[in-house]
A and B are shown apart, each in its own frame.
Chain A
């Protein structure tokens, strides 16, 4: 079969594409394809940025991941039991000092922590500041409502402040841990803490193939965009696109998982996950653990001194 006998006539003639006069068509922004591809690119950029931070030679980066997990989790528990805002603020200041010692840009670190606090915590604690929820001395009157005085109470504001500073301190500790530890080492540290090995194996593979599948999604959407010649769209076609992409991706993921399983079997996998990790404490790890213990004892002691 030769090409000339099968090539349709219309394919041999060039067609007018874009109007040569000017770009006068409708412009639409924020469509699902663009949003998805830029979202994927942003995520990959963020991951690479996190990897760069984890590779820095700062204080926390030098520590064994297992030591870091245990120490910072311990401080997290301490933060959960502290009942005074000044003590929590002191703990928060300590996390800022740790961030600086770990060569993190403070503006980036603070932004990363405080970005979510107003969203998730502020909205939850806001009603608790009103006198209709938390009875007490009104310090900020807001007027009357059906004959009742409405305002923010001292007790309500104190409770809300306590929750917000506690969440900020806890989030800072978690961000410090995750941003200064490569994912692989974080997983290894969970293994050392007796987390089920199979769970760790699955988590590790999920993270590894997340990037592979993100690239697949990106390729699919870029290919789609390359063949999109009109700006017109509607919600039905958008839903169709998302549905078909999800289906195609599921098929790819299944084929890939079959092959990965074969690759594991071929190298003797029998259902038991084994790892090469060995745990050796160094002086810097011991010093950090001791500093954390001293800090925790001082925090709890100071909190008790301030009373209830």
Chain B
């Protein structure tokens, strides 16, 4: 047992591990190329990289939603392959231990009401209705959206939808939480709330893996970073602070502007020199991505 940067105990137990994983969309558009990484229990790991580098695709592989063309994915000491996930018992165990919060909350919040949305996961896990009803109320209370329980999704704001999406995953009490661009499209206050929540969940023993290109809050969001190059490979894997200080590395993977560039000259510090501004809701809508391509990889 070791202690992460945030003071949260982590163990050497490998929960998720990908080895030499490659994946291409439609067998034409590469998203991951020979990627290897391991996530240990209790860690907060950030997958860092520019748009289209493969972060979201890797999260979907870790969630058992996409299966690598090459390489091997192991979760909780069992290999995760499509055939094995067709086994109801294995699928139920795996799905209840790995929760995935999508970037596009509109895709995740699909039920007619918030209450039904949050109940969807635990009902599929086969929990008793009374237990599910209690858990739903607890989750909605925790995320401060109990008053929205009978609302329809189209009546919610972006921040409220994100809270509902997180509640719908937390209600299953997973060991590992995967977040795809958790702070994108959120206003500043909701971002702060979400970062605090992620830190709190990690402190409670949850393992966190998140994909982001937002460097602003990284020191709080992650103890360790896996940096992806634009060639869809792992460019670096290490503790957050030294990686954030490595300007050359971040510039080479298109996360900050290279020193000496016109915009960089005389400009502010690293944090405000991000290449990409935060996405607007319109930009982040996965529905604007052509069919068959990743929403944001």
Contact = CB atoms under 8 A, between A and B. Distances in A.
Nearest to A209: B110
Nearest to A264: B110
B124 interface: yes
Contacts of A272: 124
Contacts of A253: 287
A199 B255 CA distance: 46
What range describes how many residues of A lie at the interface? Answer: 35 or more
B112 interface: yes
Interface stretch (B115-123, B194-202, B217-225, B271-279): B115-123
Contact of A259 (B98, B107, B116, B136): B107
A258 B291 contact: yes
A136 to B, nearest CB: 51
B4 to A, nearest CB: 26
Contacts of B293: 255
A270 B93 CA distance: 13
Interface stretch (B10-18, B37-45, B125-133): B125-133
B112 A187 contact: yes
A266 B287 CA distance: 19
Max chain B CB contacts within 10 Å: which of A209, A212, A276, A278?
A276
A268 B287 contact: no
Interface string B87-125: 010011001101110101011101111011001110111
A275 B262 CA distance: 58
A208 B262 contact: no
A204 B107 contact: no
B65 A265 contact: yes
Interface string A247-273: 000011111101110111111111010
Max chain B CB contacts within 10 Å: which of A2, A187, A255, A265?
A255
A207 interface: yes
A205 B110 contact: yes
A262 B98 CA distance: 13
Contact of A260 (B98, B107, B121, B154): B107
A256 B286 CA distance: 7
B119 to A, nearest CB: 4
A149 to B, nearest CB: 59
A216 interface: yes
A270 B154 contact: no
A208 B65 CA distance: 23
A183 B169 CA distance: 25
A219 interface: yes
A263 B102 contact: yes
B35 interface: no
Interface residues of B, number: 53
Contact of B95 (A219, A268, A278): A268
B282 interface: yes
B85 to A, nearest CB: 9
A116 B155 CA distance: 29
A208 B154 contact: yes
B153 to A, nearest CB: 6
A276 B136 contact: yes
A302 interface: no
A212 B121 contact: no
Interface in B140-182: 150, 152-155, 168-169, 172
Contacts of B292: 255, 258
A276 B115 CA distance: 9
A211 interface: yes
A64 B289 CA distance: 42
B1 to A, nearest CB: 30
A255 B169 contact: no
A73 to B, nearest CB: 21
Given A212-B106, A259-B104, A268 B125 contact: yes
A297 interface: no
A276 B129 contact: yes
B187 interface: no
A25 to B, nearest CB: 31
B63 interface: yes
B3 to A, nearest CB: 31
A222 B155 CA distance: 22
B295 interface: yes
Contact of A267 (B106, B115, B152, B168): B168
Max chain A CB contacts within 10 Å: which of B106, B110, B115, B124?
B110
B289 A267 contact: no
Nearest to A187: B112
B33 to A, nearest CB: 22
A255 B136 CA distance: 29
Contacts of B268: none
Given A256-B107, A263-B107, A268-B124, A212 B154 contact: yes
B112 A2 contact: no
B70 interface: no
8 contacts: A204-B111, A207-B112, A255-B288, A258-B291, A266-B64, A266-B65, A267-B172, A276-B129
Given A255-B286, A256-B286, 12 more contacts: A184-B112, A204-B112, A208-B154, A212-B154, A255-B292, A262-B60, A264-B120, A265-B95, A266-B63, A267-B121, A268-B96, A276-B133
Q: Which 7 A-B pairs have the closest CB atoms?
A: A268-B124, A184-B112, A267-B121, A259-B107, A252-B287, A274-B123, A211-B154
